[in-house]
A and B are shown apart, each in its own frame.
Chain A
Amino acid sequence: MPPVISVRDLTKTYHVGEHSVHALRSISLDIEPGEFVAVIGPSGSGKSTLMHILGCLDQPTSGQYFLSGKDVSHLSDDEVSLVRNQQIGFVFQGFNLLTRTSALENVELPLLYGAASISAAERKSRAMAALTAVGLESRFDHHTNQLSGGQQQRVAIARALLNNPSILLADEPTGNLDSKTSIEVMEIFQSLQRERGITIVLITHETEVAQYGSRIITFKDGNIVSDTANDNRRHAAAESAELAAVTEGAA
């Protein structure tokens, strides 16, 4: 099976005034289907830039990016939009949900765009299925401001999964969450990888969060400094069961 993501000599240079900032310096890497890759590095290391390029939100200065075997680094804006719609699911630190909009309508959003026209009934049933997958089916009509941070992130995950994307890109998904909800979110990620074989790329600056991944890539100054399989993987399901036991014991 070919790699889902294949990056060759990827560079990205920003020009700020007269200075040139080299966010990425000739990166090459492959990510196989079903991997849970954690990308870690301090701020300014280029990991976010990598994620923007992997998510087709930005284009590289040079180099090539093959998504499912197709070069997507030099497509037109409309083509790239379609790629984002069909093949990529985003989960952001700030959730990025539409305010004053119900959870269901937020999840439906990707279906309103894209080439295929989908009936209102099908749109709703698919969105409900995605909400059920993250355990929020009972809150489908709640507006985003009526949901807790963890719930909002789960809505965002449901939205990201709606079009069955090739990859799930998560940019600091637990950055705004407490440790308990962070574990819940990671539990969802790990079960998605385990049960549905979804490829996940997780960007984080916290080593503890990166430990949930099956492979850890470390960035520094726009270069990959290490790329290793994670032998010491954390398991969110076990941790949350443990937490529940502790809470029960305390009670």
Chain B
Amino acid sequence: MAVPTSWLIALRSLRRNKLQTGLTMLGMTIGVATVLTMISLGSGAQLAIQDQVKAAGMNMLIVTAGNYQARKEKPPDDAIEMGAVRTPESFGRPRLVLSAFHPEDDPFAVHDHPTARSRLGDSEAGLGAAATLTMADSDAIRNLPGVQYVCGGVHENIHVVNGDTRWFTRVHGDDVSLPNIRRSWTFLHGGFFSAREERKNDQVVVLGSVAATKLFGTDNPVGKTITLWKQPFKVVGVVSSSSWMIAPSEGDDQFDAVYIPVTTMQSLLNLSKLNDITITTKSTGDVTRVGNIVTSLLRNRHHIGPDAPDDFTVASQAAKALSSGGLRPDVATAVTGNVNGLEKVTLDQLGRTLDKSSRTMSALLASIATVSLIVGGIGIMNIMMLSVTERTREIGIRRAVGARAHEVLMQFILESVILSVAGGLLGIVIGVVAAIFIARSVQWSTSISPLSIILSFGISAAIGIFFGYYPAREASRVAPLASLRYE
């Protein structure tokens, strides 16, 4: 049998009273739609805040070449130190000599710190200067579980030239995945360079918005050519910040900067090493664990013995962000106005505060929605109670032809459940549409999780059973005889 008779009875009965059925369902529909919309607004706000916090780098790890800790070992024999005092065998007299000329050492044209192992050993090199990280390391990290994006980088200071305009700024040689890591990035013009351009070592450049303004004013620089290291670079994009927590400003590391493919930078400067590797984790809470895995992976790859210190440093961005002032205090103050000494608040704390306030907001919205659900439920109960009185005769007829008390109970409960679940399903559809509509029209972030849909569905079924039980029990107690006298 396709449909159990109890369902058939309930469905036929609901069909008999179409208007009543429709109106009762409407109450439930509005209730569930409200709940779903409210939850989606609440969790949308929460997600938006989490996003902003992530955009500020909460899930970011940075592996920097070198270590603060000095090693007590001699520099390699082939290390050439600039300005070293040497004693040439032929003259027998100490004499200050400059090392052989190297293109990277030209103090006038290019850059200012040595990178290659041949000129400076790992031992005393400071952060970023040691030549210990390679592209292979970055590829190995990319394959670790829990890792989202990996980007190896080489960083220098540079004069960027557009015609007569010169601007001294940072140049970052980076991987194509960088825009995925810098979640707060938005491209004002063009976009980031492509994987193909990176593979082919193309001379393309993406300008930070500050650098772009300095060089081009308000013009759109995409397609124009600028000069780095006396080499022509084609501008492919201008990047700015979409997050209120990070505002572009002169001298910052992200937007007063230019970006070129790391391969291009390595081949132009004749480098094989990376200064650092930026990693994002899939989940914010995973940063420490992934950091430990990366550490052991790199120690293994670099063949570092158990007693030897790391030749790299793994740091999470959360701590860094505070010191570099990546936060916009005015906005933060507006949100957490009652927090004293905001400049001392870490990003982590701020994130937690924002999270908490958005959760309060969600709770408020949810409680409003709950009220409307209860109203919907009481509506169902009201109708069911009314129909027990109104349908005494019908119940009597059913009893007379052989319906047992529990069959009548089942019929009324099923009617109530069908009403609330059908109303609930319709409400879910309307709620989802409303959430999408709100997101599109008012630009509020909304988020509908499968969980909130399952929850709404469950709540509506539960309301059907809960508010349907009492009327149904009343119905089942109607005496078969009483109904026949009821005219």
Contacts and interface: CB of A to CB of B under 8 A. Distances in A.
B481 A84 contact: no
Contact of B401 (A58, A109, A171): A109
Main secondary structure of the interface of B (DSSP, over half): helix
B17 A100 contact: yes
Nearest to B405: A77
B400 A55 contact: yes
B8 to A, nearest CB: 7
A232 to B, nearest CB: 31
B400 A90 contact: yes
Nearest to A59: B481
Interface in A83-101: 84-86, 90, 92, 94, 96-101
Interface in B1-57: 1-3, 5, 8-9, 12, 16-17
Interface stretch (B102-110, B195-203, B391-399): B391-399
A113 B398 contact: yes
A81 interface: yes
B253 interface: no
A101 B12 contact: yes
A228 interface: no
A159 B401 contact: yes
A96 B400 contact: yes
Given A81-B399, A82-B402, A57 B484 contact: yes
B405 A101 contact: no
A42 interface: no
Interface string B350-379: 000000000000000000000000000000
Contacts of A159: 401
Given A52-B481, A57-B480, A117-B1, A81 B404 contact: yes
Interface residues of B, number: 27
Interface centre among A77, A81, A94, A109 (most CB of B within 10 A): A81
A113 B407 CA distance: 8
A112 interface: yes
A60 interface: no
Interface string B393-433: 11011111111111100000000000000000000000000
Contacts of A105: 12
Given A58-B481, A96-B393, A117-B5, A110 B16 contact: no
A58 B479 CA distance: 9
Interface string B471-487: 00000000011001001
Contact of B1 (A90, A92, A119): A119
A78 interface: yes
A100 B18 CA distance: 10
Nearest to A163: B402
Interface string A43-55: 0000000001001
Interface in B135-155: none
A225 interface: no
Contacts of B8: 112
Contact of B404 (A57, A92, A113): A113
Nearest to B2: A120
A99 B8 CA distance: 17
A81 B16 contact: no
A69 interface: no
A86 B487 contact: no
A99 B13 CA distance: 10
A114 interface: yes
Given A101-B16, A112-B8, A117-B1, A84 B484 contact: no
Contacts of A92: 484
Given A98-B397, A120-B1, A114 B16 contact: no
Given A52-B481, A100-B17, A112-B8, A86 B402 contact: yes
B12 A113 contact: no
B402 A85 contact: yes
Given A117-B1, A120-B1, A96 B402 contact: no
A30 to B, nearest CB: 24
A98 B393 CA distance: 9
Nearest to B397: A96
Interface centre among B402, B407, B487 (most CB of A within 10 A): B402
A84 B397 CA distance: 11
Contacts of A82: 402, 404
15 contacts: A77-B405, A81-B480, A84-B399, A84-B401, A85-B401, A85-B403, A96-B396, A96-B484, A98-B16, A98-B394, A112-B9, A112-B403, A113-B398, A117-B1, A163-B402
Given A84-B480, A110-B402, 18 more contacts: A52-B481, A57-B400, A77-B405, A81-B402, A81-B405, A81-B480, A84-B400, A84-B402, A94-B487, A97-B397, A100-B17, A109-B398, A110-B401, A112-B403, A113-B402, A117-B5, A163-B402, A171-B484
A-B pairs, top 7 by smallest CB distance, nearest first, are A85-B402, A110-B401, A81-B404, A100-B16, A113-B402, A57-B481, A113-B403
